[in-house]
Amino acid sequence: MRLDGRDAAAVADAAKHLAAGELVAFPTETVYGLGARADDDAAVAKIFALKGRPTGHPLIVHVADRAEAERFGVISPLAERLVEAFWPGPVTVIVRRVPGAAAAAAAGQATIGLRCPAHPIAHALLVAARAAGVPGVAAPSANRFGRISPTTAAHVIEEFGEDLLVLDGGAAQLGIESAIVDCSRDRPALLRPGVLTRERIEAVLGSPLAGADIAAPRAPGTLEAHYAPRAKLRLMPTQMLRTALEVLGSDPLKLAVYSRSVPSGVATGVRHRRMPARPEQAAHELFAVLRELDSTGVHLIWVEEPPPGPEWDGVRDRLSRAAAT
């Protein structure tokens, strides 16, 4: 059931659903989330079941403000800096978990991921849910495990059908998931890049971030293969894409191309989408474009590598994972 998220009665309805231990999908500024009350292990189990997500993969708990975050995690001095600078906003902090809090959402780990979203509908939902006795909402992206994250209510319905309550908030503004910073270790690590660049996060922390690699065992959900379209996606440098199109790009039924330039080798009829020159714009449309190209039934999606530079890290990360299947 799709409800208009700008309608206060719809938000109140959704909050009641959450309070009753049911699932609700809702918009955030990054992607749509599939939420359940974080303090109810049985409700959280419904998320894992619906997504087909292995139970070892911890979920992010969404909170209305910092005080709510403290019910679940211990905000360390490093995490504090990020919370101060970026909340509400697209940064998730991993901190030590308050013993006994949100055990199922944290997949039993001693740490927990906390995020305060900057979307007015997400915020309204969290506030209404809190008033109904819900202390925080566990929510992964509202897609089946391993598939492309949803940036519209229609994408969520594509994933899970019409039975699920979905608050519609239009297209997600940023389009890729939050940056995840693990503050639970001696040296903070960027587990997943987002729209906020590594530089901006490091400037606030006052220290360099370790890469995701050293943290790999602690972030089972940041799998190499993720965001997978049905078609085989290949990420190629500009020249390789040109050559490949000249040699092989003749079958419009099988091939779609997402590239910054329109390569001369693109045969007529090959589906082509142009990658925006600005990284924020590319992030905003990325998952919708992948879904759209995939839905045409092509066997191959060839994507030109984004330009180098840290402002493209988030988009590059999602594309490499989509290619890694």
Binding site for ligand TXA (CB under 6 A): 28, 30-31, 33, 57-60, 92, 94, 106, 109, 111-113, 115, 117, 139-141, 177-178, 180, 191, 218-222
Q: Which is nearer to Mg ion, 141 or 184 (CB)?
A: 141
Min dist. Cβ of residue 23 to Mg ion (A): 15
Q: Which is nearer to Mg ion, 59 or 270 (CB)?
A: 59
Q: Of Mg ion, ligand TXA, none, which one sits near residue 228, judging by CB under 5 to 8 A according to partner kind?
A: none
Q: Which is nearer to ligand TXA, 24 or 298 (CB)?
A: 24
Q: Of ligand TXA, Mg ion, none, which one sits near residue 195, judging by CB under 5 to 8 A according to partner kind?
A: none
Q: Of Mg ion, ligand TXA, none, which one sits near residue 109, judging by CB under 5 to 8 A according to partner kind?
A: ligand TXA
Instruction: Report residue 320 CA to chain centroid gap.
Output: 15
Min dist. Cβ of residue 28 to ligand TXA (A): 5
Q: Which is nearer to ligand TXA, 122 or 245 (CB)?
A: 122
Angstrom distances, CA of residue 119 to CA of 27, 38, 62, 205: 7, 19, 12, 24
178 binds Mg ion (CB under 5 A): no
Min dist. Cβ of residue 296 to ligand TXA (A): 26
Query: DSSP class of residue 185?
Result: S
Min dist. Cβ of residue 172 to ligand TXA (A): 9
**Number of residues assigned to the chain:** 325
Lookup: tokens for 71: 């019910």
Min dist. Cβ of residue 15 to ligand TXA (A): 17
Alpha carbon distance 323, 94 (integer Å): 27
Angstrom distances, CA of residue 129 to CA of 44, 114, 123: 15, 17, 10
Lookup: tokens for 121: 């509908």
Task: Give the helix/strand (H/E) hosting 4.
Answer: strand 2-4
Q: Of Mg ion, ligand TXA, none, which one sits near residue 58, judging by CB under 5 to 8 A according to partner kind?
A: ligand TXA
> CB–CB of 89/116 below 8 Å?
yes
Task: Give the helix/strand (H/E) hosting 93.
Answer: strand 91-97
DSSP states of 23-62: -EEE--SSS-EEEEETT-HHHHHHHHHHHT--TTSPPEEE
Q: Which residue is nearest to ligand TXA (CB)?
A: 221
Q: Which is nearer to ligand TXA, 57 or 260 (CB)?
A: 57
Q: Which is nearer to ligand TXA, 177 or 305 (CB)?
A: 177
Cα three-residue angle 90-273-230, rounded to 5 degrees = 75
Q: Which is nearer to ligand TXA, 115 or 242 (CB)?
A: 115
Q: Of Mg ion, ligand TXA, none, which one sits near residue 290, judging by CB under 5 to 8 A according to partner kind?
A: none
Q: Which is nearer to ligand TXA, 218 or 291 (CB)?
A: 218
Q: Of ligand TXA, Mg ion, none, which one sits near residue 273, judging by CB under 5 to 8 A according to partner kind?
A: none
Min dist. Cβ of residue 82 to Mg ion (A): 20
Instruction: Report residue 202 CA to chain centroid gap.
Output: 21
How many other C-beta atoms are found inside a 10 Å radius of the C-beta of residue 91?
A: 25
Provide long-range contacts, Cβ within 8 A and 24+ apart, for 213-220: 214/189, 215/182, 215/185, 215/189, 215/191, 218/94, 218/109, 218/111, 218/182, 218/191, 219/180, 219/182, 219/191, 219/192, 220/54, 220/56, 220/57, 220/58, 220/107
Min dist. Cβ of residue 201 to ligand TXA (A): 15
Min dist. Cβ of residue 25 to ligand TXA (A): 9
Task: Give the helix/strand (H/E) hosting 68.
Answer: helix 66-69
Figure out which of the listed residues 28, 30, 141, 173 binds Mg ion, where binding follows CB under 5 A: 141
Give the interface with Mg ion as residue ranges (CB under 5 A): 141
